[in-house]
Chain A
């Protein structure tokens, strides 16, 4: 199912959380809403779900080109997974997953046998078939997450909405679960939107990323494009580590250049570093396994972070206090945006 929202705004007590948002999601796509806390990403997800209502004067929320802005939450046929899962505490795993099927009006409700069959197949899908009689309090965080997902999928939603799906989990489980989510999505192909503040998660899992800041979508593109061609300094800064250089643009206006630490070439010989290489002194070396982080100080006392691969570092054979030459390989130049 395609989702399209046009011109959506939302304010709380005078504060504008969403400002004129437009977004179109293709059928079967997996889209991440990425942004820092307070950027409006969760509110946008809740407006799409129907948990929040957009402000008066906002445009429609279209599911397959049908306006659902005034359709109740329960009638939108969405599957919503809450950040803290909101599993029903007093029901076991099986009852949680079967809830949506049992809540259907009598005419549409499958028979009890069908409900059992369907629930069992979902339990198999989330690989928790042997824990169906457990209560949520007896499950680990990752297991709860999967139960919440299965519960949302049981009613065959047209779209799956996940609010910080891995936010409450520790690092290892997170990594495992997001791969699992990707595989699951490749199997069932339901249009999916998830909210996250973790750029790695968004880039790794999604088909397209909508980067949000202060109630606006700054960029909406596939992960590679977002990472390689950030539409704004904000996107650049939010997606990873960076060095900021002040200077002049070609049109001789004051501007700034942003460079990723791994996009800086470093050498002992000024000619080997590349064109317009500048000198610096190594002030710190941090070993991080495959990548080594080198801190340089230039003549005008600015700090520059450089990342090189471990083999390159071995070849360079650097120590603290060594003098080196560095050159920017892939700088993004922006004229400062004074609006933000």
Chain B
């Protein structure tokens, strides 16, 4: 990371100055623009075009279905349509809630893990360190479907821990209700889940599996290149380990951390294969990507694209944030180099 951004700018200018044959150049530029337009721009724009196929009203109706006009008497078919729309939008909202809840659990866990793993593998030398680093990267090379499959084989019926896991009872966090002081503790869970697989817990586990390396991976190269001198300096001045971490290490890696968190969040929101397998195709287990598939299968094209457009916006935001962070670190680096 160090050195690259600034060096590349000046080198790039040189390189652009020395261009070869103008015809070859025009051809290659045309091919690039054509290829990227068909394979990246067209699908991106198409998401929004399809989402707004029925206008802004149609777009919003996916989330907030139209209510019957005041005092109007509606035919049976009309009533059914409205009821159906209400059910559909409630399912979409449930998918959004579940997606947010899963990300809210998965991302913090992976941040803690990523920081711990990066600290252990970059600030120390120990036997097996290289193996540990490759194991942390392992989930990236596992097919999402296999990532889901392993949890079914571990926790499902006939799974390795199946007997225990299928009888495990745990409260549904969304069912926490106020029950009054009569019952002793005023809060209680109204519903319990039984089993692990085909419940949100399995979705959380599968999501952790597929997003596992992001934070650790974005921190490791930077922490490796920064070495341990600043930490040792802080410790020699009498700072505690925690203080050293929070005051010295954390500020030095904050942008890389943010970058890893953004990637991890984007993937947690968008994971399809692994989540699909452990969700058991049950409606209440739908996350946003699974909801998109159901709407598509029900030929509800515009609604599918509307939900998809939300995830696409998230992806666009991810790219903007990534570019901004890269720009920011390159600039920090440039000022650091400036006065040496």
Residues of A that sit less than 8 Å from B by CB: 49-51, 72-80, 82, 84, 86-90, 99-100, 103-104, 137-141, 151-152, 154-155
Q: Which residues of A contact B235 (CB under 8 A)?
A: 72-74
Q: Which residue of B lies closest to A141 (CB)?
A: B340
- Asked if A74 and B237 make an inter-chain contact with CB atoms under 8 angstroms apart, the answer reads yes
Q: Are A103 and B240 in contact (CB under 8 A)?
A: yes
B26 interfacial contact with A, CB 8 Å: no
Annotate B197-239 by CB proximity to A: 1 below 8 A, 0 otherwise: 0000000000000000000000000000000011011111111
B336 at the interface (CB under 8 A from A): yes
Some 15 contacts from A to B, beta carbons below 8 A apart, are A49-B236, A51-B236, A84-B229, A86-B232, A86-B233, A87-B230, A88-B247, A88-B248, A89-B230, A89-B252, A90-B251, A103-B239, A137-B338, A139-B339, A151-B237
| Residues of chain B within 8 A of A74, CB atoms compared | 235-240
Min CB distance, A203 to chain B, in Å? 28
Seed contacts A51-B232, A88-B233; 17 additional CB < 8 Å A-B pairs: A74-B235, A77-B238, A82-B232, A88-B247, A90-B251, A99-B237, A103-B234, A103-B238, A103-B239, A103-B240, A104-B238, A137-B335, A137-B338, A151-B237, A152-B237, A154-B237, A155-B238
Q: What's the Cα separation between A139 and B335 when bound, in Å?
A: 11
Given known pairs A88-B248, A137-B336, A139-B339, the reply for A103 and B237 (CB within 8 Å) is yes
> Using Cβ atoms and an 8 Å threshold, which residues of chain A touch B81?
none
CA distance A103 to B238 in the complex (A): 7
How many A-B pairs fall under 8 Å by CB? 73
- Chain B: CB-nearest residue to A79: B236
Q: Pick the residue among A76, A82, A89, A99 that contacts B239 (CB under 8 A).
A: A99
Residue of A nearest to B231 (CB): A86
Q: Which residues of B contact A104 (CB under 8 A)?
A: 238
**Shortest distance in angstroms between B223's beta carbon and chain A's nearest beta carbon?**
14
Contacts A103-B240, A140-B339; is A80 near B234 (CB within 8 Å)?
no
Nearest opposing residue in chain A for B251, CB measure: A90
- Whether A103 touches B243, Cβ cut-off 8 Å, given contacts A74-B236, A89-B252, is yes
Nearest CB on B from A152, distance (A): 8
Q: Which residues of B contact A76 (CB under 8 A)?
A: 236
Contact in complex: B234, A99 (CB < 8 Å): yes
**Smallest Cβ-Cβ distance to B338: which chain A residue:** A137
Q: How far is the CA of A204 from the CA of B243 in the complex (A)?
A: 39
Instruction: Closest B residue to A154 by CB, please name it.
Output: B237
Contact of A90 among B240, B252, B335 (CB under 8 A): B252
| Binary contact readout B317-340 vs A (1 if CB under 8 angstroms, 0 otherwise) | 000000000000000000110111
A254 to chain B, nearest CB (A): 47
Nearest chain B residue, comparing its CB with the CB of A13: B125
Describe B's contact surface by its main secondary structure.
Answer: helix
- 6 A-B pairs with the lowest CB-CB distances in the bound complex, closest first: A100-B237, A86-B229, A103-B239, A137-B336, A86-B233, A90-B251
Known contacts A84-B229, A86-B230; A155/B340 CB under 8 A: no
Separation in Å of the B55 CB from the closest CB of chain A? 49
Per-residue 0/1 for B11-23: is the Cβ within 8 Å of any A Cβ (1 yes, 0 no)? 0000000000000
Q: Which residue of A lies closest to B237 (CB)?
A: A100
**In the assembled complex, how far is the CB of residue B236 from the closest CB belonging to chain A, in whole angstroms?**
5
A140 to B338, CA, bound (A): 10
**Distance (Å) between the CB of B231 and the closest chain A CB?**
9
In angstroms, Cα B339 to Cα A75, docked, is: 35
* Chain B contacts for A139, CB-based, 8 A: 339
Chain A, residue nearest B250 (CB): A90
CA distance A87 to B252 in the complex (A): 12
B252→A78 contact, CB < 8 A: no
- Kindly state the separation between the CA atoms of A73 and B238 in the bound complex, as whole angstroms: 8
Judging by beta carbons under 8 Å apart, are A80 and B233 in contact? yes
| Residue contact A88 to B230, C-beta cutoff 8 Å | yes
**Are B234 and A138 touching (Cβ within 8 A)?**
no
Chain A residues contacting B233 (CB-CB under 8 Å) are: 80, 82, 86-88, 151
Nearest CB of chain B from residue A278's CB, rounded to whole Å: 52
Instruction: Kindly provide the distance from the CB of A62 to the nearest chain B CB, expressed in whole angstroms.
Output: 19
Shortest Cβ distance from A30 into chain B, in angstroms? 20
Q: Give residues 28-76 of B contacting A (CB, 8 Å).
A: none
Of A74, A78, A151, chain B has the most CB atoms within 10 Å of the CB of A74
Which residues from B are CB-within-8-Å of A152? Answer: 236-237
Kindly list chain B residues whose C-beta atoms are within 8 Å of the C-beta of A151: 233, 237
List of A residues within 8 angstroms of B240 by Cβ:
74, 103
- In the assembled complex, which residues on chain B have CB atoms less than 8 Å from the CB atom of A103? 234, 237-240, 243, 247
Q: In the complex, A184 Cα to B218 Cα: how many Å?
A: 44
Alpha-carbon distance A151/B233, docked complex (angstroms):
9
> Which residues of chain B are near A88, meaning CB under 8 Å?
230, 233-234, 247-248
Which among B233, B243, B248 has the greatest number of chain A C-beta atoms within 10 A?
B233
Q: In whole angstroms, how far apart are the Cα atoms of A104 and B240 in the complex?
A: 9
Q: How far is the CB of B235 from chain A (nearest CB, A)?
A: 5
Pair A100/B338 contact, Cβ less than 8 Å: no
Name the contact of B232 in the complex, choosing from A80, A87, A137, A155 (C-beta under 8 A): A80
Give the residue name and chain of the B residue nearest to A135 (CB): B335
Q: Which residues of A contact B243 (CB under 8 A)?
A: 103
Cβ-closest chain B residue relative to A104: B238
Q: How far is B338's CA from A137's CA once the two chains are assembled, in angstroms?
A: 8
CA distance A137 to B240 in the complex (A): 26
Q: How far is the CA of A297 from the CA of B308 in the complex (A)?
A: 87
C-alpha gap A106/B230 in the complex (Å): 23
Q: How far is the CB of A190 from chain B (nearest CB, A)?
A: 15
When distances are taken between beta carbons in the complex, the residues of chain A under 8 Å from B336 are 89, 137
- Residues on B with C-beta less than 8 A from A89 are 230, 252, 336
Instruction: Give A89 to B243 CA distance when docked, in angstroms.
Output: 16
Shortest distance from the beta carbon of B80 to any chain A beta carbon, whole Å: 62
Given A51-B232, A80-B232, A84-B229, decide whether A155 and B252 contact each other with a Cβ distance below 8 A. no
Known: A86-B230, A88-B230, A137-B335. A78 touches B248 (CB 8 A): no
Task: Give Cα A170–Cα B238 distance, bound, in whole angstroms.
Answer: 32
Q: Is the CB of B229 within 8 A of A82?
A: yes
A188 to chain B, nearest CB (A): 17
Q: A74-B235, A74-B239 are in contact. Are A137 and B252 (CB under 8 A)?
A: no
Smallest Cβ distance from B207 to chain A, in angstroms? 33
